[in-house]
Amino acid sequence: MAKVVTDYKKTPSRKWWKITIILLASLVMLLGIGSSVAYWKVNKSKPVISGEVVIDGLDYKVSAIRDTKGVPHIKAKSTKDLYMVQGYVTAQDRMFQMDLSRRQASGELSEVIGKKTIDKDRYFRTLGLRRAAQASYKHYSTQAKQALQWYADGVNAYLKEAKGNHALPIEFILAGYEPSAWTPIDSLTIGKYMAFDLGGHWEGQAFRYYLLQHFSKEQAFDLFPSYPTGAPDVIEAAQQSNIDVTKSMAKAVIPHRFNGSNNWVVSGEKTASGKPFLADDPHLGLATPSIWYETHLQDDTQNVRGVVFAGVPGVILGSNDHIAWGVTNVGPDVQDLYIEKRNPKNKHEFLYKGKWERATTVSEPIKVKGESTIPYEVTITRHGPVMSEFAQHSSSDKVLAMKWTALQPSAELQGVLQYNKATNWNEFKAALTYFHTPAQNFVFASTDGTIAYRANGLIPIRKQPYTSLPVPGWNDRYEWKGYIPWEKLPTVVNPKEGFIATANNQVIGKEYPYHLTDTWAQPYREARIKEVLRSKKQFSLADMKSLQTDHHNLQAREMLPILVPLLKKSSLTSQEKKAIALLEKWNQKDDAHLAAPLLFNLWMEDLPRVLFAKKINKKVLRMFDGQAQVTDQLIRRAAKGKPGPWMKEAGGLQRVAEKSFKHTVAAIEKMQGTDLDKWQWGEYHVARFTHPLAAIKPLNLFFNPKPYAVGGSRVTVGAAGWDEETGSVDHGAAWRTVIDMAKPNQSDNVVAPGQSGHVLSEWYDDQISDWVDGNYHRTYTDERAFKKGTTLTLVPSK
């Protein structure tokens, strides 16, 4: 059973009367209004989910039935009506989230929040996700543009209604603004933001650039994902450049370093039903509301269900009557930083092949709530936007510009809308020709028995081998000469082993002729998935669910035999010896009620601090892309008698292990006392699903769900990453799904914390305990979905 954690400030339960009292008090205090007016505003903000609503532009009646978990089942006679109502219903549940999402990606948060977000806005204005979305729009087909516009029309129908009835979500009232009309570009910008969130390793290039500027080659290369060869001019350029990344890039917005996912498909030869199983659980940020919105769309051309980002039409991950699909992040090297030489006489010119070449400049004024508009200009070289000056720090003669596939025009949403209607592998694969960024590991299953895999996306081929560093931009040696041919992307269909699994691991060996990346995730999740899928001849759907929430820690299996014997040779207190005994008796499962996971995971967290924290600038250390993988490798090398310079300078592996272990025991004693029997991973490792407005006290009491103790860790299949300062679990699989292709009209799912973004809704946080305990709800795409539903009928105006 899920265990609710009592914080020092207890979060109230979702009792309506308690919620209303807290909200009324908050509204009265923050807005200076009367309690009766506050109560009226609370009630007015609740979405209409039953009865009849008139929407201008509809051609026919449309039903939107929310099932017992709040999943909307939208049934329409035309595709136009289907996407209009999808926009309307999604806005009903998630309008504030949608508005914040487009604002963050566009660099427009300061307009409604104030000066606290100016640096973030500068960064996203410089990066140019919205500019890339605008450039992409013209590459969409007429049909896809129509879908985008129909969706926007539905969102705007909701906005018109909510504004007219003074019924916008209460977050808008508290934030003091009204959202503007929705546009197709807003949807595409959110899509570009997801490409950003799943990244491409630019920060690792910046970090290694810093290493070469401040440390010896031997020290720098020790922390590279692979030893650099054949690029002396790149290394020399990095060492001689005067760009200070501690100032110029310190405030950059860097995606979560553990962003990733699990997915797998199992052949019908290994399943109880005789048809393939598919399982998928993408790992992204955990917050309120969920990043994912579950939905079911049906018209004469499609019957598809799954999840989508609020603000985007269609279904990104899910299934239809014939096929199912899921994704994990490939994480290829699709971003390159170029060192550009600036003309000392003209700041807008940069050297290329012996000539000064004028860059493009774009005006991006930043509106700030309560302040004057800030004039801001973005410089774009032939390689991309100049990223090293967004923090208002300028070097005299060199800058860093970013080239990135996602800043080029692309039409991913067209691929999504097309594969929603696919009926077999060939049709699905054809739709993927439009899906360029972010590059994803797609797994596929169909009712005809096919299982398949494809690493799909636009991945550059470079003139010179990838260097892991920023490259000179003043000649053409390091340009991209094209992309991996579509027909050459890694693909597997119906393998003999009877399953395919990915977990952001290395997906193909050295025999592959093209470079994907040097920075893969730690191998432990993928190894555990394959270990289980090889463990028996036949699996049930329950086995798939159990695997999605599996807490076996294979890092502990590898590292404890290396490190514990070294600790036993060290000088330890009696308390520290008891702690070692905990680890030796441990079953190596990261369960919430156990002490050993707390000890082991915080120990692994402290090891890189001992190695790097005192020598590497703190502002730059967060750019250490692949830090966990590199640390693992340093330990493996040292254990084999080949310690590198960082391990040697820290006193050797035994000294590092001992020092970090002592730190860890002392830190846990401070948090949970000296009685080891009372230590629990779940007392520290807590899921809170924080709401964006929770930073404003006392709104945290109102918007944040109850906190729950959770198991798992960053390296378990049941992934649960945490904030190192607070222990709050802020990263993992907000969406889990398992599908048996013998019954394509149903799937078992969970969306944490829940479907609705409205705090007064019964579906606001009703799925957290299921998420913690590994339980699922069943979503149907036939009439069974509608038996206990709440029906909203949307009708055209006369």
Angle between helices 524-533 and 541-548 (to 10 degrees): 160
SS3 per residue for 170-193: HHHHHHCCCCCCCCHHHHHHHHHH
Q: Which residues contact 164 (CB under 8 A, 6 or more apart)?
A: none
In angstroms, rounded to a whole number, what is the distance separating the alpha carbons of residues 384 and 79?
38
Backbone phi and psi for residue 351, each to the nearest 5 degrees, phi listed first: -75, 135
Cβ atoms 92, 754 nearer than 8 A: no
Residue 156: both structure tokens together:
């705007």
- Phi-psi category of residue 277: left, alpha or beta, with phi > 0 → left and psi -120 to 50 → alpha: beta
In angstroms, rounded to a whole number, what is the distance separating the alpha carbons of residues 298 and 82?
7
In angstroms, rounded to a whole number, what is the distance separating the alpha carbons of residues 441 and 101?
25
Residue 670, classed as helix, strand or coil, is helix
Cβ atoms 143, 413 nearer than 8 A: no
In angstroms, rounded to a whole number, what is the distance separating the alpha carbons of residues 10 and 3?
14
* Annotation says 261 is catalytic: yes
Provide the β-strand partners of residue 339: 400, 472
Provide the β-strand partners of residue 305: 296, 319
Catalytic-labelled residue, pool 26, 101, 261, 728: 261
How many beta carbons lie within 10 A of that of residue 718, not counting itself? 25
**C-alpha to C-alpha distances, 196 to 150, 322, 421, 518, 605, nearest whole angstrom:** 26, 31, 27, 19, 26
Helix and strand numbers (H, E) in the chain are 27, 31
DSSP string for residues in 425-445: HHHHHHHGGG--SS-EEEEEE
Residue 333: both structure tokens together:
């090297």
Q: What is the DSSP letter of 672?
A: H
What's the sign of the alpha-carbon dihedral 125, 260, 774, 447? positive
625 has binding-site annotation: no
281 has binding-site annotation: no
| Residues in binding site for Ca(2+) | 333, 336
Active site positions, annotated: 261
In the annotated binding site, the residues are 333, 336
